[in-house]
Amino acid sequence: MNSSNEYEYYKKPKGNNSILALLLIIIGVLFLLRNMGILSYSVTHFVFSWQMLLIALGVWSVSKKQNTSGAILIVLGAIFLIPKLDLFFPDLNLRLITRNTWPIFLIGFGIYLYFSNSSYKKDKRKEFEKKYGTAFNKENSSGSSSTDGAENQKAEEESQTSHTQSSSNQSSSNQSEDSTDFLSEDFIFSSTFRHILSQNIVGGDIRVVFGQVIFDLRGAQLKNNKVIIDADIVFGNAVFYVPNHWKVIINSQSVLGSFSDKRFYSFHKTESTEKAPTLIITGSCVFGSGEIKS
């Protein structure tokens, strides 16, 4: 594949920011109308609120096919926004409605978690392969991990065995070793540590909403030497521990958040590292953070 279109299939689509741009335009127009005295206090107090911000971020997330995180933001924003409707409907007991809405939300959330089983994860994998698989596999079908890369991997694992153990002791409430080749998890109001041991990782589709997840990939290997992990983080944190010799490409969109490579050793592209294992991070961070560590 030519260098000009080597990463064509996982570049950020240019149309992804259209919804965000539209929201910014609407906010600007509303601010202008308020400053001109056209909008009343009731309307501005309703529109310019943190609840509406949650709903706007949820709409933006849904527009990016991040339905889980987007729906949660929209529902939370709507629930907290109901009491503000007293400004328009003073005769209604909206606070009572809010109290009754919370249990319904919890019931719906519980049903969602109940049905988030293995079949759901298989569907996520199919969607992921449909999104990235064709072009991704074609590019890598002609080659796999080089011998030098395997040797570097082994050396890296041996040098970091003790560090891996110490990291696991500092991890969150749930800890486990996993040999799965596709990372498909939704972490919602939870904290989890995953020690991945698979020698054939093909990719991942991860959602973190109001939670934290730590993936230790230092004992793992990437299929065809290159994989994509799609990570969407909303009010949460995701940490990926990877070997120093891995090349990491961060292609994540951030809104009041960040995703950064914090390894002490910085990967430098040379002729000898052309075939280094490559991890590509896509997705988004909304009021959240992502970190690459070693």
Same domain (yes/no): 76, 166: no
Whether 141 maps to a domain, the answer reads yes
Whether 122 maps to a domain, the answer reads no
Same domain (yes/no): 157, 288: yes
Same domain (yes/no): 100, 171: no
Domain count along the chain: 2
Q: Write down the pLDDT at residue 240.
A: 92
Whether 126 maps to a domain, the answer reads no
Question: How many CB atoms neighbour CB 6 within 10 A?
Answer: 9
Whether 238 maps to a domain, the answer reads yes
Give 182-193 pLDDT, tens digit per residue. 887 778 778 888
Q: Which of 114, 149, 179 lies at the terminal end of a domain, its last residue? A: 114
Residues of the chain scoring pLDDT < 70: 1-17, 19-20, 64-68, 87, 112-179, 265-274
Q: Write down the pLDDT at residue 239.
A: 92
| C-alpha 79: how far from chain center | 24
Same domain (yes/no): 140, 204: yes
Q: Are strands 203-209 and 182-188 parallel, antiparallel or unpaired?
A: parallel
Same domain (yes/no): 154, 275: yes
Which segments within the chain are labelled E, that is strand?
A: 174-178, 182-188, 191-196, 203-209, 212-216, 226-234, 237-241, 247-255, 258-261, 278-286, 289-293
Q: Which domain holds residue 51?
A: 13-114
| C-alpha 125: how far from chain center | 15
Whether 69 maps to a domain, the answer reads yes
Same domain (yes/no): 58, 204: no
Q: Write down the pLDDT at residue 265.
A: 64
Q: How far apart are CA 218 and CA 2, in angstroms?
A: 30
pTM given for the model: 0.59
Of 242, 137, 152, 134, the closest CA to residue 196 belongs to 242
Same domain (yes/no): 143, 72: no
Same domain (yes/no): 137, 110: no
Q: Write down the pLDDT at residue 241.
A: 92
Whether 125 maps to a domain, the answer reads no
Same domain (yes/no): 54, 142: no
Same domain (yes/no): 157, 266: yes
The angle subtended at Cα 130 by Cα 234 and Cα 176, nearest 5°, is 50
Whether 248 maps to a domain, the answer reads yes
236, 212 Cβ separation under 8 angstroms:
yes
The angle subtended at Cα 222 by Cα 219 and Cα 223, nearest 5°, is 140
Same domain (yes/no): 155, 91: no
